[in-house]
Homo-oligomer: A and B are copies of this chain.
Amino acid sequence: MSTKARSTVPGKPLGRKELRAIDAWWRAANYLCVGQIYLMDNPLLRVPLEPHHVKPRLLGHWGTTPGLTFIHAHLNRAIMARDLDLFTVTGPGHGGPAALATSWLDGTYTQTYPEVSRDVDGMHRLFKQFSFPGGVPSHVAPETPGSIHEGGELGYSLAHAYGATFDNPDLLVAAVVGDGEAESGPLAASWHSTKFVDPRRDGAVLPILHLNGYKIASPTVLARIPEEELLSLLRGYGHTPYVVAGDDPDAMHQAFAATLDHCLDEIREIQAEARASGRRPAERRAWPMIVLRSPKGWTGPEKVDGQQVEGSWRSHQVPFSNARDDDDHRKVLEEWLRSYRPEELFGDDGAPVAQIADLHPLGTRRMGANPHTNGGLLTRPLSLPDFREYAVPVPRPGSGQVEATRVLGGFLRDVMARNPETFRMMSPDEHNSNRLQDVLEVTDRTWNATTLPGDDHLATDGRVMETLSEHMCQGWLEGYLLTGRHGLFSCYEAFVHIVDSMFNQHAKWLKTSNAIEWRRPIPSLNYLLTSHVWRQDHNGFSHQDPGFIDHVVNKKADVIRVYLPPDANTLLSVADHCLRSRQYVNVIVAGKQPALQYLSMDQALVHAAKGIGIWEWAGTEPEQGAEPDVVIGCAGDVPTMEALAAVDILRREFDDLRIRFVNVVDLMRLQHEQEHPHGLSDADFDALFTTDRPVVFAYHGYPWLVHRLTHNRTNHRNFHVRGYVEEGTTTTPFDMTVLNGIDRFHLAIAVIDKVPQLRSRAGAVRERLLDKLVEHRNHVHTHGEDMAEVREWEFPYPGDPDGATGTSAG
C-alpha cells in the first residue's frame, strides 16, 4: 500500500477549499459511523467519555465503512456538479453505518424519520438505534432510505444495480462491490451483465470494486493477486478499470475525484455516441469502472493492545470491544472519535456546520431520496390485454391437447407489446424450451455481444433476458422490480432451488417493507415454474424437484402465494392476477407439454378466483346435504389428470359410489384462515373435505406439504396424500406417476382401500388394477412409450350435456 495515493487517471480537480470541505464532510460521516457503532449517549463528546455512554453490546462492522463514506462524499460532489440521477448499491455486507450517516447528513434520514432530527437529540437517537433492540440493523436494509439492496447475504449487488438501470436511460447506479462479496458465484457471474446493456435505452452501472483486503479473518482473493492479473480479469469482463489506491486522505480525494470525473465522462460519451445514431452500436464498448484500494478500517486506530488494527482483518467488525469496561479501550475510542475533530464539524445544536451542511444535492437528487430506491413511487400498472381473449376452447372437460405455457406465451406477447418500457422476462436459456416463444414476435433476446448469421432473435434492445445463470435472472429481476417495474422469471422447477436463498432475502425484504409506511408497494416477483417434476422424461432424476414450493411456504404468509393451475385457461387467469398484484412472491407451476383441458374461460375465471372448488361434473355428488363416500382432491396439472382418470375407473366399477372431486389452484386455500390470508375457515374447509370421509389427495409436489398445510383440520387424519417421493428417472410421463404411486390405478386402489364399503367387495377390481400396473411396466420397458390407453385417455363424462360444467367452491 502506498502511503500517499496512486491512480490511473492523473489530475487534481479539487480546489483547496473544495478539498477541505469534502474532507470535513468525510470526517463528519466517519464520526457518525463510529458513534453509531459505539455510543449510546454523549454523542458530541461534550463531556469525557464514561462507561455508560458506551453500548453494552457492540455490534456492527467498521472495516468497510470509511471507504463507503469516502465514496459517498465524492458521489455527492459529482451529483451536484452534473445534476445526476444517481443512487448507490452497497455491496459490502455491513456497511450500514455509512448509508445512515450519509442520509442523516443530507437530511433525508430526518425527513423519513422525523424523530431522528438533525441536532444533538437526533444524533443521540441515530447512535443509539444502530444495532440496538428495536432499532435498525447493522447493514443496509429496507429501513435505510435510498436503498434497494439488503446487505445481508452477499453476492447480488451488481445484478441488482443492473436490474435498476434497465429501461432507466438517465439513471446511474454506483455499485460498490466488496472484495469479499466478489468471491461469491453470483457476483462473479454478474460482471458479464455488460453484454446485456443497451447504452441507448438503459442507464449505466459504475462498479466500484472496493479492495480493502480482508474478509472476516482471511485476505480476499482479488486484493491479493498481482494488479496486472486483476486488471486483466476486469478487462475480460468488459470493463476499462481505473485504479485509485492509497491511504493519504488529501491525495486520495484528488485521485478519486479525478477518476470519478473521468469515468462519468466516459459513460456519458458511450451513451451519447449510441444515442446519437439511434441504431444498434457498431461494437460493444468497454464500460469504465473503479478499483478503490484503501485500508480496512481506514482512519481508525492504527494499533490496539499492540496489535495492528487499521489495514488489518482486526478492523472487520468492531476493532476493540471492551470500551465500556476497559478504561484503556475507552480512551482509544475517545481519541479516535476526537481525531475527526467533531467540534469543527457540528455546531452547538449538533447540526452539521455550514461548511458541510449543504454539501449535498437537493431534493430527490439526494441519494437517500432518489425515487428509484422506493420503486413503488414510480410504479405504473401494466397495461394488460383482456386475458379472456386468449382462451382455448374446451368443448368437453378433460379433452384436447394444449400446451398451457404456449397459450400463456400469446398473452405475454401482448403484455410485452403494450408495456415496452416497464416489463421484462428473464430465463436461464429456457424461454423457448418453456414454450414462451410467441413473445419473440414482438421483442428479442437482450444481447449486446457479437451476433452471427443464424442467430435467433437477438437484439441490443431485446426485452427477454436469457443467460445461463438463475442468479443473474433473479438478481436482475429483483433490481427491476425494486425500482418499480414489472416482470416474470420462467425457470425449470428443479433448478429454481439455485435461487432459494435469493428468494429468502427478497421475501424478507417484502415482509420488512410491509411494516415501513414510507415504502410503497412494488410489483410482485412472479415465477413461472415449468418443465416440472412430472415431465422430466427427457432429463430424469437430476431434473426432478418440486420442493421450491415447500421452501416458499416457510416465509411469511402475507408475502407468498402459490398457484397450480390445472389447465391453460386457469393459467391465463392466474397469470393476469399475478401481474396485477403488488408486494408478493407469486409462484405459478404449470406444465409445458400437451395436456388435457378442463375449464372454459368463464369457469376458469371463477375457479381461479375461488382458488379451490368442487368439480361437480367430475364426481358423483350425492343429493344436497348428504356426504360423499370419498373425496378425491388434486392440485397440479398431471395430478388432476390422474385423479380424473381414477374417478373414471371408480365410476365404471362402482356405480353407487358417491365421489366428490375437489381441485385446488391456490395452494394456500388449504391452510387455515388464521395462518394465511387466503386460508379457508374450518367451516368452509369441512364443507369441501367433510369431517369424517376418506380424502385421497393427488398433489403435484412432496405429499407431506399437504399434511403440513392441513394438519389442524378436523378431517386431517383421513387425508391420504400422494405426490412426488423422489422416485423415477428417465422414463415415460405415465411411468413417472406410477413410480411415485400417484397414477390413476394407484389412486383408485387407494380409494378402494380407504372406503369401508368397498374394501370388502372390491377384491377383484383391486386385482385387475394391479394387473394393469404390471401390464404398463412391461409395455414401457419393451416399447419405450406408454400404452395407448393412458397416452390417449380423455375424461369420458361430459357432465351437463349442455356443456355447462359447474364449478363451485364450498
A interface vs B, CB < 8 Å? 40, 55-57, 59, 128, 131-139, 141, 150-155, 180-181, 183-192, 195, 213, 215-221, 224-226, 229-238, 308, 311-313, 429-433, 445, 447, 449-452, 454-456, 458, 466-472, 494-495, 497-498, 500-501, 504-505, 508, 511-512, 537-543, 545, 547, 550-551, 554-556, 702, 704-705, 707-708, 711, 716-717, 726, 729-732, 735, 780-781, 783-785
Cα-based distance from A783 to B52 in the complex (angstroms): 10
In Å, the complex CA distance between A744 and B215 comes to 37
Pairs A–B under 8 Å by Cβ, sample size 12 = A133-B731, A137-B540, A185-B186, A188-B469, A213-B452, A218-B429, A224-B449, A224-B450, A233-B236, A498-B500, A512-B541, A707-B707
Q: A238-B225, A497-B501, A539-B138 are in contact. Are A219 and B455 (CB under 8 A)?
A: yes
Residues in B neighbouring A495, C-beta threshold 8 A: 153, 501
CB pair A192–B185 under 8 Å, yes or no, is no
Given known A153-B542, A456-B217, contact A784–B237 (CB-CB < 8 A): no
Given A431-B217, A447-B219, A466-B218: A541 and B508 interface contact (C-beta under 8 Å): yes
Of chain B, the residue at the smallest CB distance from A150 is B542
Q: Which residues of B contact A191 (CB under 8 A)?
A: 188
Contact between B505 and A542 (Cβ–Cβ < 8 Å)?
A: yes
How far is A164 from B413 in the complex, measured between Cα atoms in Å? Answer: 47
Closest 9 CB pairs of A and B: A233-B236, A152-B542, A185-B185, A497-B501, A188-B188, A183-B468, A185-B189, A232-B236, A224-B449
Cα–Cα, bound, A551→B496 (Å) = 13
A781 vs B702: C-alpha distance when bound (angstroms)? 43
A230 → chain B, closest Cβ, in Å?
A: 7
Supposing A221-B192, A236-B236 touch, asked if A471 and B554 sit within 8 A by C-beta, the answer is: no
Given contacts A550-B550, A551-B550, contact A181 B468 (CB under 8 A): yes
Q: How many copies does the complex hold?
A: 2
Is there contact, CB below 8 Å, between A59 and B538? yes
Known: A185-B469, A539-B152. A233 touches B237 (CB 8 A): yes
Task: Pick from B183, B218, B445, B504: contact of A469, CB below 8 A.
Answer: B183
Q: Give A136's nearest chain B residue, CB to CB.
A: B730
Known: A217-B429, A433-B217. A232 touches B235 (CB 8 A): yes
CB nearest to A318 among chain B residues: B538
Interface of A is mostly: loop
Q: Are A225 and B195 in contact (CB under 8 A)?
A: yes
Closest residue to A308 on the B side, CB-wise?
Answer: B454
Name which of A133, A141, A308, A538 has the most chain B CB atoms within 10 A of its CB.
A133
Known contacts A59-B537, A219-B449; can you find 13 more A-B pairs with CB under 8 A?
Answer: A40-B784, A136-B730, A137-B730, A152-B542, A181-B468, A183-B189, A216-B433, A217-B466, A218-B458, A226-B450, A233-B237, A511-B726, A554-B726
Residues of B within 8 A of A450 (CB): 219, 224-226
A181-B429 Cα distance, complex, nearest whole Å: 11
A229-B235, A542-B141 as given contacts; A735 in contact with B215, CB under 8 Å: no
Q: Kindly report which residue of chain B lies nearest to residue A671, judged by CB atoms.
A: B704
Q: Is the CB of A726 within 8 A of B449?
A: no
Nearest to A719 among chain B residues (CB) is: B711
Contact A133:B312 (CB < 8 A) given known A56-B783, A153-B498: no
Q: Which residue of B lies closest to A543 (CB)?
A: B152
Q: Which residue of B lies closest to A219 (CB)?
A: B455
Q: Pick the contact of A454 from B150, B238, B312, B447 — CB < 8 Å?
A: B312
Most buried by B among A219, A430, A543, A716: A219
- Smallest Cβ-Cβ distance to A218: which chain B residue: B466
Provide the residues of chain B in CB contact with A152, threshold 8 Å.
539-543
Query: Residue A134 contacts which of B226, B705, B708, B780 (CB distance < 8 angstroms)?
Result: B780
For A708, give its contact among B215, B455, B542, B708 (CB under 8 Å): B708
Q: How far in angstroms is the closest Cβ of chain B from A712? A: 8
The answer to whether residues A501 and B498 also contact, given A217-B429, A468-B181, A541-B137 and a CB cut-off of 8 A, is: yes
Q: Are B219 and A134 in contact (CB under 8 A)?
A: no
A456 to B214 Cα, complex, angstroms: 11
**In the bound complex, what is the Cα–Cα distance between A640 and B186 (angstroms)?**
37
Report chain B residues within 8 Å CB of A711. 704, 707-708, 711, 716
Compute how far the CA of A498 lies from the CA of B226 in the bound complex, rounded to whole angstroms: 30
Give CA–CA (A187, B467) in the complex, Å.
13
CB neighbours of A219 from chain B (8 A): 447, 449-452, 455, 458
Q: Which residues of B contact A215 (CB under 8 A)?
A: 429, 466, 468
Q: Choose among A445, A511, A538 the residue with the greatest number of B CB atoms under 10 Å from its CB.
A: A538
Which residue of the partner chain B has the closest CB to A429? B215
